[in-house]
Amino acid sequence: MARRSSPAAISFLVFSMLTIASAKVFFEERFNDGWESRWIKSDWKKDGNMAGEWNYTSGKWNGDPNDKGIQTSEDYRFYAISAEFPEFSNKDKTLVFQFSVKHEQKLDCGGGYMKLLSGAVDQKKFGGHTPYSIMFGPDICGHSTKKVHAILNYNGVNNLLKKDIPCETDQLTHVYTFILHPDATYSILIDNVEKESGSLYSDWDLLPQKKIKDPEAKKPEDWDEKEYIPDPEDRKPEGYDDIPKEIPDADATKPEDWDEEEDGEWTAPTIPNPEYKGPWKPKKIKNPNYQGKWKAPMIDNPEFKDDPDLYVYPNLKYVGVELWQVKSGTLFDNVLVCDDVEYAKKLAEETWSKNKDAEKAAFDEAEKKREEEEAKKDPADSDVEDEDTDEGADSDADVDLDGTSETDKDGSDAEVKESGTSKTKEEAVKDEL
Ligand SMILES: *[C@@H]1O[C@H](CO)[C@@H](O)[C@H](O)[C@H]1NC(C)=O
């Protein structure tokens, strides 16, 4: 018995070792010492002093003060920074793109996403209109936008994920993971929990639809779409039409001062007849010949041409952050590009899972302190709230300023970011498709 089971056990062991050994990490950045030699800050928006500075920090609250990342540190600024890795193609491989992000500022309008870029990029010029391959991560603006973006570039066109995935909105660290498989399926995880999954074919409009309604098809003349018909068996009751609509009011009496000579013969006024039911109609029955609502048959779309490499990005080479922030304080950490879902999961466990409780405790402590200080500053309270509200109103005006991510999608200039809401920008992208 033991001898028979051992080959299986051994092969399982070998298999597990192979899977781990075969995990390929294309890029991993934990922001330890030396990170500055790996990341290049772009000169984009430096003219006019609109390029924001990054702060190398673990933030105001954290689970481990030594675990640092990079945090946006100036309000109303553009941020662009990128790192290069050895070029690779994800053909026949799973692609995993993962990072953690913490919005310490209580983000009300701004992005927290990262990008994967391909080919040759001048990292010193990396900015809002640099073409990218994948843009992924949370985006928040006002009450309307609180979502996870997953934008895929296909043949030069940026395509938005058609499903809505809410992002985290608190002030704690969260891990975002995008997984793309060689069978053109994907999944999106937040904090190692799958939030969405599906197919590139259905959840983005990368290719024309496989099946369409036959445009040539017409509803047959004799197609019976009536669900109910008058009952042919139903007969009008005898005397039905003899029932008058109105009858004399039996309660009416001739007024005492009625003068037949002058006023003519008195007749009682009429009232609606409670017996009267309107013109006779046969009752309705289910139509035995009902064929249902007519629908054009689906046919193969002649425009559809499959692309077996739909999921392939043949020369991925950079990872970058390109953001506009109204309020700074977004902290990125633990950036990973690899081909192994398990490896990514482990990294999230070793970093996020390990620190999250301590971070939450530190955050609660910081909040308590902040509230106490605010109460001290203004014992009559309430004004504090007012300040907050004012700020909120301010940033509502900034809703338009956002659009950030959206403009990149249609490759328009960053200045355009300052007009139009994100919604219309997204629609503009869709119109492009
Ligand atoms: C960097 O972050 C730390 C921790 O939040 C903070 O104390 C410090 O003031 C920040 N520095 C800048 C330049 O923003």
- On the question of pLDDT at 402 being above 60, the answer is no
Q: Does ligand 1 come within 6 angstroms of the Cβ of 366?
A: no
Q: What is the pLDDT of residues 40-74, one digit of tens each?
A: 999 999 998 999 999 999 999 999 999 999 999 99
Work out whether the CA dihedral 295, 300, 306, 308 comes out positive or negative.
positive
For residues 151-178, average pLDDT: 97
* Neighbour count for residue 34 (Cβ, 10 Å): 7
Residue with tokens 């010949």: 289
> pLDDT category, 15, cuts 50, 70, 90?
low
Work out whether the CA dihedral 141, 360, 385, 325 comes out positive or negative.
negative
SS3 category, 289? coil
Q: What is the pLDDT of residues 72-115, one digit of tens each?
A: 999 999 999 999 999 999 999 999 999 999 999 988 888 899 99
* Degrees, nearest 5: CA angle 212-296-432: 35
Per-residue model confidence (pLDDT) at position 414:
33
* Degrees, nearest 5: CA angle 393-114-193: 90
- The rounded Å distance from CA 328 to ligand 1 centre is 11
Contact 44, 320 (CB under 8 A): no
pTM of the model: 0.71
- On the question of pLDDT at 16 being above 70, the answer is no
Cα separation, 206 vs 264, whole angstroms? 87
- Which is more confidently placed, 265 or 397? 265
Query: Looking at the chain, how many residues does it have?
Result: 433
> pLDDT category, 11, cuts 50, 70, 90?
low
Work out whether the CA dihedral 409, 433, 188, 24 comes out positive or negative.
negative
Say if residue 113 carries a ligand binding annotation: yes
- On the question of pLDDT at 311 being above 60, the answer is yes
> pLDDT category, 254, cuts 50, 70, 90?
confident
> pLDDT category, 5, cuts 50, 70, 90?
very low
Cβ within 8 Å of residue 158, ≥6 positions away: 132, 135, 151, 152, 408, 409, 410, 411, 429
- Which is more confidently placed, 366 or 9? 366
> pLDDT category, 385, cuts 50, 70, 90?
very low
- On the question of pLDDT at 419 being above 50, the answer is no
* Degrees, nearest 5: CA angle 37-40-46: 140
How many percent of the chain have pLDDT more than 70? 82
In ligand 1, the atom with minimum distance to the C-alpha of 57 is 2
H/E element, 369: helix 354-377
Q: Does ligand 1 come within 6 angstroms of the Cβ of 60?
A: yes
Per-residue model confidence (pLDDT) at position 429:
41
Contact 340, 180 (CB under 8 A): no
- On the question of pLDDT at 413 being above 50, the answer is no
SS3 category, 366? helix
Domains of the chain, start order: 20-207+312-362+400-412 (2.60.120.200)
Q: What is the pLDDT of residues 120-134, one digit of tens each?
A: 999 999 999 999 999
- On the question of pLDDT at 195 being above 90, the answer is yes
Contact 91, 316 (CB under 8 A): no
Per-residue model confidence (pLDDT) at position 3:
45
- On the question of pLDDT at 313 being above 50, the answer is yes
In ligand 1, the atom with minimum distance to the C-alpha of 55 is 1
- On the question of pLDDT at 193 being above 90, the answer is yes
Say if residue 139 carries a ligand binding annotation: yes
Nearest alpha-carbon partner for 117 in 108, 125, 107, 109: 125
How many percent of the chain have pLDDT more than 90? 70
Cβ within 8 Å of residue 79, ≥6 positions away: 51, 52, 54, 72, 321, 322, 323, 324, 325
- The rounded Å distance from CA 44 to ligand 1 centre is 23
Nearest alpha-carbon partner for 433 in 413, 410, 412, 411: 410
Per-residue model confidence (pLDDT) at position 401:
40
Q: What is the pLDDT of residues 177-188, one digit of tens each?
A: 999 999 999 999
